[in-house]
Amino acid sequence: MGSSEKREETASSTDAEARSSEPARISRREFLKVSAAVVTPLFLGTGYYSWQVEPHWLEIVTRRMAIRALPDALEGARLVQLSDLHVGPVVSDEYVLDAFRRVAALRPDIVVVTGDLTSYAADVLTHARRIYSHLPHGRLATLCTLGNHDYGPGWMHYNDADRLAATMRELGAPVLRNEIARVGDLQIVGMDDLWAERFDPVRAFAALDPRQAMLALSHNPDTVDLPGWGGFQSWVLAGHTHGGQVKPPFLPPPILGVRNRRYTAGEFGLSGGRRMYINRGVGHLQQIRFDCRPEVTLFELHRA
């Protein structure tokens, strides 16, 4: 074999080796097929989780609550906050009753429900009586406030709200509507709903003793930015937001029913010596939650 033929053979061999070492190329169609095979199960799995798993994956959040002038008799007392149960056609009754069983197992001293006890339906009062007859009661007190959904469509069905409040009182869980209940020497101020145009802090705080321990229940977090809180210096327990229900990772929730979009969920420092805790709620308006589990909050009370 001549030298030129050897050079050609060597070059051909080198080219073949080079081609064999190049990464395999796939067509656009093949790429889309592979992508669909990976993404589709992930998308369906996330959708199923958000629909069937997380909306009923209740979290018991335990926190310490320091209250100025808390009486010795309430040192270490357990206060459980429920919010936004939305008893009605959307939220599973068995899920709510299971939440009640879990709260009862906590052996609370005080139980509070901060609004949106129901979601409107034609027979919601009958439904509410049946479910809330199983509401666990605190050893010392069980108290409620109303939310916008308790006032029916447009938040203006005042007779329905009155009947719901009467039902809860009959069941041993009185509804505070701009008034104060006293649990020993702890004053619990219950606000009526903002969107129903029944929020009245002047009336609510009229009988407040600033020397004694205090705590406020107000369904809508936006109320803390309004005037009228006067000498109130303590915790405000709120709900309403559901934490947004859907929270993309590392991003704020895209849908939030408050004017002050800082108020998502959890603890917030406020002016005037106040602090607020926003509960993510037990129920939902639509059966979907993502990165925002439903919540029951257990507070252990201590003197500040």
Which whole number is the average pLDDT over 136-147?
A: 98
Pairing of the two strands 141-145 and 78-82: unpaired
| 11-36 per-position pLDDT tens digit | 455 554 544 455 556 666 654 454 44
pLDDT for 263 equals 98
* Average of per-residue pLDDT across 94-107: 98
pLDDT digits (tens, 9 = 90+) for 228-249: 998 899 999 999 999 999 999 8
Q: Please state whether beta strands 59-67 and 295-303 pair in parallel, antiparallel, or not at all (unpaired).
A: parallel
pTM: 0.86
CA distance 145 to 192: 6
Tell me the domains of the chain and their CATH numbers: 3-44 (no CATH), 58-303 (3.60.21.10)
Amino acid present at 4:
S
Q: Does residue 44 surpass a pLDDT of 50?
A: yes
Q: Among the listed ranges 6-10, 150-154, 277-281, which one has the minimum average pLDDT value? A: 6-10
Residue 175 confidence (pLDDT)? 98
Binned at pLDDT 50, 70 and 90, residue 46 comes out as confident
pLDDT digits (tens, 9 = 90+) for 203-225: 999 999 999 999 999 999 999 99
